[in-house]
Structure 1
Amino acid sequence: MSKHAVLRLPSQGSWDNLVEAKEPRPSAGKHEVLIKVRSVALNFRDIAIATGKYPFPVKENLVPGSDLAGDIVQLGESVSGLQEGDKVVVAFDPTTTYGPIKSWANALGGPVDGVLSEYVVAPESGVVKVPNESTLSYAQWASVVCTGTTVWNALYGINRLMPGHTVLFQGTGGVSITGLALAKAAGAQTIITSSSDEKLQHVKAKYGVDHTINYKKTPDWAAEVQKITNGQGVDFILENGGSGTIRQSLNAIAFGGCISVIGFLSSASQEEMPDVAGLALAKGAVVRGIIIGSKQQLEEAVRFIGVRNLPMPIDKTFTFCRDQVIDAMKYLVSGQHIGKVCITF
């Protein structure tokens, strides 16, 4: 029986616990496909899982990682609409074809094995083809799985982004830079925050963001947002900070705007927590938690990106082996990145 390389996490607590093993290569069941993995995109979720800080269930001896792009190399006997050789991605939760994810129980790389292996079996219902004519790399397509779907859900899940709307992004990580690319392509005005002038200058030069705010130099960045928008506020905010930045987001949002809570990188003590309910009511604003999105939203993001051949922002790639994956996680935690960090096979 042929073997393939797999990374597993026998116990949480540190990414140093990762081990590389040779295991029997899987085969596709009746309604499944076998995918040769070409690239995996990392997320902060992978760091939280490896270090034991993830607040949701994680299976024992986990194969980490949730975001892959690869090629179908085997079809189950009842699979239709897919072919060997198709370039594909797989939804974060392959069981959620539409609507909100109902639980964390079926998310790849947490409660079930993920994608940091040379071959992965996936149900056909969770697989999305990417356009053959696209010139995007496997790494760029892998980055769409969580990050692209999350952005799509934030901008089109309830309130729908329209040309001329204004969108604010917190930080320069994968979600923010991917969101910036999609929002610019949709005709929106864009604002991004960071504590680094160097990063802001880079994002301005490379991605064409309309306005930048250094929140270290301008702690009351919501007031600066109101100046930029002539007192109207922004229509959408991708909230990556969490409790530590939600007050400023509510002060910066337009009446009827939408704040999508995606991350929890900045925390506030209980005593410093704002009256979120009162502030949201005062603006008639939507404050919604984002759990990635459905396969349908992944398909919509893939279609939008594919039609425009819109380059997804990859900061750095590492190769598939234990030491390089650990280096990639360390790099992600360092905060040096602007865009996504990926593993190539």
Structure 2
Amino acid sequence: MSTHTVFRLTHRNGFDGLEASNETVPEIDRHELLIKVRSVALNFRDIAIATSQYPFPVKDNVTPCSDAMGEVVEVGSSVPGFEKGDPVVVAFDPTALYGTIDNWDNGHGGPVDGVLKQYLQVSYQGVVKIPKNSSLKDEQWAALVCTGATAWNGLYGNIPLRPGQTVLFQGTGGVSVTGLALAKAAGAKTIITSSSDDKLAYVKSTFGADYTINYKKTPDWAAEAKKLTNGVGVDYILENGGSGTIKQSIEAIKFGGIISVIGFLSQASQEEMPDVAALALSKGCVVRGIIIGSKQQLEEVVRFVGNHDINIPVEKTFGFSKEGVVEALEYMASGSHIGKVCVKVS
């Protein structure tokens, strides 16, 4: 029987727990696809899982990572709509076909084995075809699985974004810059924040951010955002910081606007914890937690990106070896990246 390389976390006390093993290529049943993985995109979740900071279930000896783009190499006998050679991406949770993800029990790379391997066996229902003749690179499609679906959920999962509205993105990580690219293609005005003028200049010149705010130089960035919107406030915010930034987000949002909480990178001390309920009530705004996105939302963002040929931000790609993957995780953990960090598998 043929074998392939599979990475597993032998412990969760650091990136040195990552080890490669030689395992049998799985056999699919009649409802499954066998996918040859071509690219894997990393997320902050992968760092948290490898360092025991992830607050949700993780199986022992797990194969990490959740975002894969690949090529169908075998099709189950009862699978409709797929054939060998189809380029595809695989949903974060293949059981969440539409609506919201109902639990944390089926996400790749945590409670179930992930995608950092050469071949992936998965139910066809969790797989989305991508355009065969797209100008986007493999890693750009891989980057849509969590990042693209999360940004899409933030912009379209409640009240859909409309042209001419304003969206504020916190930081220059994958979700923020991808969301900015999506919002620009939809005709929205965009504001992005960072502590680095160089990163802000890059995002403005490369991805067309309309406005930038350095939150180190302008700690009251909410007031600046309101000034940029003639005192009205922004329509949407993708909230990355969590308790440390939510007060400023609610101050920046317009009455009735939507704040999508997608991260917890900036924690407030207990003494400085904001009264989110009172603040949200004062603005009549929606503060909603985002759990990635369903397979339907992944399909929607794949179609939108394909139709508009959107430049999905991938900064750096590393090799498929223990050294390469560890280097990729360390680079992402350093926070110096803009957009996504990926691993080229084949």
Same fold (TM over 0.5): yes
SS at 1:243 equivalent: helix
Corresponding position of 1:221: 221
1:129 Cα shift? 0.2
Q: Deviations over 1:288-327 (max 9, x none)?
A: 0000010000000000001111121100000111110000
Deviates more, 1:196-205 or 1:243-252: 196-205
Q: Deviations over 1:131-189 (max 9, x none)?
A: 11211111000000000000000000002100000000000000010001000000000
Corresponding position of 1:261: 261
Corresponding position of 1:333: 333
Q: In the alignment, residue 45 of structure 2 is paired with which amino acid?
A: R
Q: Structure 2 unaligned runs (5+)?
A: none
Matched, 1:61 2:61: yes
How far apart are the structure 2 equivalents of 1:207 and 1:33? 35
How many aligned positions are there? 345
How far apart are the structure 2 equivalents of 1:125 and 1:236? 31
Return the TM-score normalized by structure 1: 0.99
1:30 Cα shift? 1.3
Corresponding position of 1:139: 139
Q: In the alignment, residue 33 of structure 1 is paired with which amino acid?
A: L
CA contact (8 A) 1:27 1:74 kept: no
How far apart are the structure 2 equivalents of 1:39 and 1:149? 17
Corresponding position of 2:105: 105
Return the TM-score normalized by structure 2: 0.99
Q: Deviations over 1:249-294 (max 9, x none)?
A: 0000011100000000000012211111111111110000000010
How far apart are the structure 2 equivalents of 1:275 and 1:265? 18
How far apart are the structure 1 equivalents of 2:309 and 2:274? 42
CA contact (8 A) 1:34 1:121 kept: yes
SS at 1:146 equivalent: helix
Corresponding position of 1:249: 249
Q: Structure 1 unaligned runs (5+)?
A: none
How far apart are the structure 2 equivalents of 1:297 and 1:253? 25
How far apart are the structure 2 equivalents of 1:204 and 1:80? 43
- Aligned positions of 1:85-100 closer than 5 A: 85-100=85-100
How far apart are the structure 2 equivalents of 1:127 and 1:195? 37
- Aligned positions of 1:155-304 closer than 5 A: 155-304=155-304
Structure 1 stretches of 4+ moved >3 Å: none
Corresponding position of 1:44: 44
1:340 Cα shift? 0.3
How far apart are the structure 1 equivalents of 2:99 and 2:179? 21
How far apart are the structure 2 equivalents of 1:77 and 1:226? 57
How far apart are the structure 1 equivalents of 2:333 and 2:109? 18
How far apart are the structure 1 equivalents of 2:268 and 2:335? 20
Deviates more, 1:325-334 or 1:7-16: 7-16
Q: In the alignment, residue 248 of structure 1 is paired with which amino acid?
A: Q
1:29 Cα shift? 1.2
Q: In the alignment, residue 186 of structure 1 is paired with which amino acid?
A: A
How far apart are the structure 1 equivalents of 2:126 and 2:107? 11
Q: In the alignment, residue 202 of structure 1 is paired with which amino acid?
A: Y
How far apart are the structure 1 equivalents of 2:133 and 2:202? 29
Corresponding position of 1:78: 78
C-alpha RMSD over aligned residues:
0.6
Aligned identity (percent) is 65
Q: In the alignment, residue 169 of structure 1 is paired with which amino acid?
A: F
Corresponding position of 1:28: 28
SS at 1:125 equivalent: helix
How far apart are the structure 2 equivalents of 1:163 and 1:99? 24
SS at 1:116 equivalent: coil
Q: Deviations over 1:99-155 (max 9, x none)?
A: 110100000000000000000001001000001121111100000000000000000
Q: In the alignment, residue 224 of structure 1 is paired with which amino acid?
A: E
